Amino acid sequence: MKLEVAFRRGTLRSLEDTIVMGATFGPYVHSEILLDDQGYSGFEGYSGFMRSPNKPAPPGWVRLPIRVIDARAVRAAVLDALAPQLRYNSADRWQCCVTAMLPFEADLDCERPETWVNTGVFCSQAILLILRRLARAGAIQLNPEPLERTHSRGCSPNALYALLV
Report pTM.
Answer: 0.93
Please report, for the chain, the start and end positions of each structural domain, with discontinuous segments joined by +.
3-164
Whether 82 contacts 40, CB under 8 Å: yes
Q: Return the CATH class of domain 3-164.
A: alpha beta
Q: Which of 156, 164, 163 has the alpha carbon at shortest distance from 27?
A: 156
pLDDT tens digits in sequence order for the chain, 165 residues long: 999 999 999 999 999 889 888 988 999 999 999 999 999 999 987 788 999 999 999 999 999 999 999 999 999 999 999 999 999 988 776 666 666 556 667 899 999 999 999 889 999 999 999 999 999 999 999 999 999 999 998 899 999 999 999
